[in-house]
Structure 1
Amino acid sequence: MHLLRTCAALALYGQCAFAGREVVKRNDTESFATDLLHESLEWLDRYYDNERGYLFSLDAAALTHETRASVWYAAGLLARNDADDVEQAVRIVNNVIGGQFKTESEQWFGDYQIYPEEPTVGTEQYPPVIYNSWDPNWRGFIGTTFVVMLEEFPHLIPQDVQSYMLESLYNTTIGDSYRVGGVDDDNLYPAYSNPSIMRAFVSGWVGRRLSDSNMTTAGEAYAKEIIDLFTRDNTLSEFNSGTYAGVSLFALTLWAKYMDEDSLMGQYGGDMIRHTWTSLGELYNANLKNVAGPWDRSYGFDMNKYLSILALQMWTLVGKENAPVNSKPYAMGHKNDFAISPLIAILAPFHNTLVPNTTLSSLLAFPSTHKVTTSAFSPPYDTYPRNITAWLSPNLTIGAESFAENVIGGPAKNPSSFNPAVAQWARQDGSVGWLSLYAQVQELDVTVGEGMLELTYPKGNSSSGFSFLVGTNGWSGKRDVRGWDDVEGVKVNVSGTVDANYTVSFNGMRGGAGETINDFEFWNFTYGMPEGSREIPRVRLDFELA
């Protein structure tokens, strides 16, 4: 394990090998991970404010600054180690820790500022609103980054700064222990995969590093709850998210790489990575460069158009050209996640040894038409595990999940990110068409088969409706869509108990019936039930490539 840690930074520059397998290189001289590291740092360099020792906001918000991206950038600077990179990384770390919340009685103790110019959280003028004025998940994001820096680059960080970082990590671990799902508006349950995996790791790592048995025990206990949920069907509770599966894989890499065999995290981390990539590989369509739905939490409907952390990991595995990443990643939707690239690149030489060969193959070439069935479980929101089915063919994929939940919009309670039924298809210009069911109910039964999708609301009634968000046509396609015949690349036949008449409206950046979702414009096809109907709401869509 310690040999692997030592080699990690060297492997980025093609100077080390792991378990007999050399780091994937491009043109036999430079690895894909190195490509990702340098391209992301060159972009982040443009945002660095040398006067303040922070990154400017990646949203260019009137020259304010941003804390989390600054820390990710600092890790990248240590990996690059060119000119004054180390000096600037140390400045950033000191600045960020200086702004850490230090009042133990406050719910946000041990957390970090979202941006240094913000007012004091908890004042009358700036009240504490979780996930707004303060974000508890930033303890995990920044804490894990500090651990990576201490593990990979201790020879570059002055001893007094290392001590300062360990003090900060101790405080952030204490603060994270305040989090209890369902209390004080917090939603951290073991099923909230990405922050829960980070929480368990930081607690276990800090406990061991500082000989605090309570922290060590707490981390292991929380890890066991996460593992028990995962091993039920070898799936993340936060299933199939282009963004958060990427974060979970990052955090599981920390389990596998930095935790010893006396830790449950060290024992299970590698297998959990393998199983997660196996599932993603089965659901990936290399022709469309997309992971088939359903998606528990998505920040877009086409991975070719929004920047996903999972795509960054694919970049390190098969190269940028073969990954769902635009030639200009910073022009994609949700571009700010490009800032996590240095961490993905630093860990890639180790992480990529855990990716199954079958998955690697599927990232490069679609194998053949196949069906995938699995499940995922997110208590306390699910009354039973969500049952997932996907059908994948070379140019058309359909995926959906049956569920019964006590919320609308999935465990994140967000209909804009919860996509319980999805279809995607190839269009003649090489772009991807897509359709997603907008979540409006707590229960859904689905049937997915060859070219078909059937959806039923078991507790629906005559007031129920099905809203399908359909992506706009390609560059040369029709700008105006009045019905299914105007949708490019696919023919859709709709049947069921719904009224055959439907409405079509547009949600756009500059107008229409409503706003975009995750920066994507779309046409909203809505089906209602016949007036006075007593039938169970059911709709079937049959797809045929045009």
Structure 2
Amino acid sequence: MIAVWKSCLALSFAVHSAFARNVSNRRNETQSFSANLLEESMRWMDMYYDSERGYLFSLDAAALTHETRPSVWYAAGLLARNEDDDVEQAVKIVKNVVGSQFKNESLQWYGNYQLYPEEPTVGTKQYPPSIYGTWDPNWRGFVGTTFVVMLEEFAHLLPQDVQTYMVQSLYHTTVGDSYRVGGLNNDNLYPAYSNPSIMRAFVSGWVGRRVHDLNMTTAGEAYAKEIIDLFTRDNTLSEFNSGTYAGVSLFAMTLWAKYMPGDSLMGQHGPDMIRHTWTSLGELYNANLKNVAGPWDRSYGFDMNRYLSILALQMWTIVGKEKAPVYERPYLMGHKNDFAISPLVAILAPYHNTLVPAETLSSLNTFPGTHIVKKSAFSPPFDTYPRNITAWLSTNLTIGAESFVENVVGGPAKNQAAFTPAVVQWLRKDGSVGWLSLYAQSLALDVDVGANYLELSYPQSNETNSSFSFLVGTNGWDGKKDIASWADVEGVQVNVSGSVNLNYTVEFGGLRGGKWKPVNEFEFWNFTYGMPEGSEEVPRVRLQVEVA
């Protein structure tokens, strides 16, 4: 009996030791990968920094003007790096940004921050207020959360008067953010607008506790509950599966999990929300293509290998740069300016990555095999009912789409270019990724997705809403430059059937010409199918897809 007990004890010790080694190895990898991300992103931003003015120059090289939001992200990176005069420069940036904060409580943009320091005064006759134009309400959240990270992680580097200055600024930010009501004054902040709503709830709850304002704390918790209720319906973000904004939401949920106390709903639910979000992303990720399968609620590109997504930066800290969907020189990718948020991702990675499930970690490294994913997400007041999502993933081909009935074309963001309700991606022989995407033109869509097929129909069709436009990516480097039919599309065979007229048009959307402009900086060929004249059938199209 003693021998058996000793044997079990030895086995238990061995298992525990192996687990501890795995945890230790994973922690060491995270620290190495996040340090690499911090170093590369800071080296890039160093080139843009104007030490005389205490701001980054525009990352778009806009005639030597400066930018506020990336300057604040850079300041956080300076504190994390802490070399030479980094702290001094970070303090200079913070003082500049807080000093230019909008402090007039009667204005809709109270508590917000300048887009850039050279801009005229928002609200003047010559520079009238335009939400998401001359001012961006989400910058309260982006700048505010960055200030909190700096105060939580690097307070020992910041003079006390600067800390006080930042907390005062955060108080203005929080009060100003309370002015936001979805549907009022052209504002679109509802709990379903995941990334800014999660930031809003956090900053309100954190600042309320810091300055002992019970109303502010309670408001943050109440708003968080609305977000949590939407999430726990199917353990998905309302702003579902966005390469950019899933990354922001994961960042913001990490603040919930790491910095909020146990008596906070945010502190209680944050860890599980991160785990569930990564579970969903892991199921939808194809490591062979280095892409998260569609559909995407808000996308700034059609191939994560070619545009920079914040989600890819998160992956960089988990599996390393080489395995993440990031180009060797990230600042050459589409939507490259988001590389500036890297310091925040790197700073939080040692904690955040402990919440990534083992199954997801495995999927980010190796595609697990052919499978189907079914999810749903809900974005009131835009959705009549939850969107139903289906994706089929195989070794070299993924197909994903969502059924919906909404009150606006282009999804809750009201953006036809970003809302991508049906997507096919495939791996080409040269290792590049081909893609096609349904261009959003309808208030309602029914979908059927399965092995090698995508079927779409419009249940609310009318004379002006009965065509299907598929944006098809250009061929690879050695492929045909001119496309006249499906036969010219590299790496895939597509057979089309349905109630549509099978005679289709093909038009080009190019950087220098063609019928259309690029979408999200991607050139494409537009394959459009209309209905036969006089047809009373429901518009329906079925794509049978095989990798060539």
Give the shorter-chain TM-score range: over 0.9
* Deviation of the 1:482 alpha carbon: 0.2
Q: Which residue identity is paired with 2:426?
A: W
Cα distance in 1, alignment partners of residues 417 and 28 from structure 2: 38
Confirm whether residue 308 of structure 1 aligns to residue 309 of structure 2. Answer: yes
Aligned to 1:322, what secondary structure does the other structure show? coil
CA deviation digits over 1:159-211, x for unaligned, max 9? 00000000000000000000000000000000000000000000000000110
Residue 443 of structure 1 is matched in structure 2 by: 444
Residue 460 of structure 1 is matched in structure 2 by: 461
CA deviation digits over 1:251-275, x for unaligned, max 9? 0000000001100000000000000
Flag structure 2 segments of 5+ consecutive residues without an equivalent: 1-19
Residue 351 of structure 2 is matched in structure 1 by: 350
Q: Which residue identity is paired with 2:285?
A: Y
Residue 530 of structure 2 is matched in structure 1 by: 528
Contact 1:462 / 1:534 at 8 angstroms: preserved in 2? Answer: no
Cα distance in 1, alignment partners of residues 449 and 185 from structure 2: 39
Q: Which residue identity is paired with 1:405?
A: E
Residue 238 of structure 2 is matched in structure 1 by: 237
Cα distance in 1, alignment partners of residues 405 and 21 from structure 2: 44
What is the aligned-residue identity percentage?
A: 77
Aligned to 2:501, what secondary structure does the other structure show? coil
CA deviation digits over 1:283-338, x for unaligned, max 9? 00000000000000000000000000000000000000000000000000000000
Residue 4 of structure 2 is matched in structure 1 by: none
* Deviation of the 1:461 alpha carbon: 3.5
Residue 14 of structure 2 is matched in structure 1 by: none
Residue 272 of structure 1 is matched in structure 2 by: 273
Residue 220 of structure 1 is matched in structure 2 by: 221
CA deviation digits over 1:229-270, x for unaligned, max 9? 000000000000000000000000000000011000000000
Cα distance in 2, alignment partners of residues 416 and 349 from structure 1: 35
Residue 504 of structure 2 is matched in structure 1 by: 502
Q: Which residue identity is paired with 2:523?
A: E
Flag structure 1 segments of 5+ consecutive residues without an equivalent: 1-16
CA deviation digits over 1:331-371, x for unaligned, max 9? 00000000000000000000000000000000010001000
- Which structure has the larger Rg over C-alpha atoms? 2
Contact 1:71 / 1:145 at 8 angstroms: preserved in 2? Answer: yes
Residue 477 of structure 1 is matched in structure 2 by: 479
Aligned to 1:321, what secondary structure does the other structure show? coil
Residue 103 of structure 1 is matched in structure 2 by: 104
RMSD of aligned Cα (Å): 1.2
Tell me the matched-pair count: 528
Aligned to 2:302, what secondary structure does the other structure show? coil
Q: Give 1:75-224 correspondences, 5 Å limit.
A: 75-224=76-225
* Deviation of the 1:18 alpha carbon: 12
Cα distance in 1, alignment partners of residues 344 and 449 from structure 2: 37
Deviates more, 1:460-469 or 1:243-252: 460-469
Deviates more, 1:230-239 or 1:460-469: 460-469
CA deviation digits over 1:361-417, x for unaligned, max 9? 000100010000010000000000000000000000000000000000000000000
Residue 9 of structure 1 is matched in structure 2 by: none
Cα distance in 2, alignment partners of residues 298 and 514 from structure 1: 19
Residue 12 of structure 1 is matched in structure 2 by: none
Cα distance in 2, alignment partners of residues 390 and 31 from structure 1: 33
CA deviation digits over 1:412-442, x for unaligned, max 9? 0000000000000000000000000000000
Cα distance in 1, alignment partners of residues 505 and 26 from structure 2: 53
Cα distance in 1, alignment partners of residues 22 and 174 from structure 2: 33
Q: TM-score, normalised by structure 2?
A: 0.95
- Structure 1 segments (4+ residues) deviating >6 Å: none
Residue 297 of structure 1 is matched in structure 2 by: 298
Cα distance in 1, alignment partners of residues 357 and 97 from structure 2: 38
CA deviation digits over 1:121-153, x for unaligned, max 9? 000000000001000000000000000000000
Give the 3 Å change call, closer, same or farther, for CA 18–276 of structure 1 in structure 2.
Answer: farther
Residue 364 of structure 1 is matched in structure 2 by: 365
Cα distance in 1, alignment partners of residues 266 and 410 from structure 2: 30
Contact 1:461 / 1:534 at 8 angstroms: preserved in 2? Answer: no
Aligned to 1:323, what secondary structure does the other structure show? coil
* Deviation of the 1:472 alpha carbon: 0.2
* Deviation of the 1:514 alpha carbon: 1.4
Q: Which residue identity is paired with 1:116?
A: P
Residue 71 of structure 1 is matched in structure 2 by: 72
Cα distance in 1, alignment partners of residues 541 and 274 from structure 2: 37
Aligned to 2:322, what secondary structure does the other structure show? helix
CA deviation digits over 1:472-496, x for unaligned, max 9? 0000000000000000000000000
Aligned to 1:425, what secondary structure does the other structure show? strand
Aligned to 2:519, what secondary structure does the other structure show? coil
Residue 56 of structure 1 is matched in structure 2 by: 57
Confirm whether residue 513 of structure 1 aligns to residue 515 of structure 2. Answer: yes
* Deviation of the 1:25 alpha carbon: 3.7
Cα distance in 1, alignment partners of residues 66 and 516 from structure 2: 31
Contact 1:79 / 1:346 at 8 angstroms: preserved in 2? Answer: yes
Q: TM-score, normalised by structure 1?
A: 0.96
Cα distance in 2, alignment partners of residues 300 and 21 from structure 1: 36
Contact 1:23 / 1:349 at 8 angstroms: preserved in 2? Answer: no
Residue 7 of structure 2 is matched in structure 1 by: none
Q: Which residue identity is paired with 1:75?
A: A
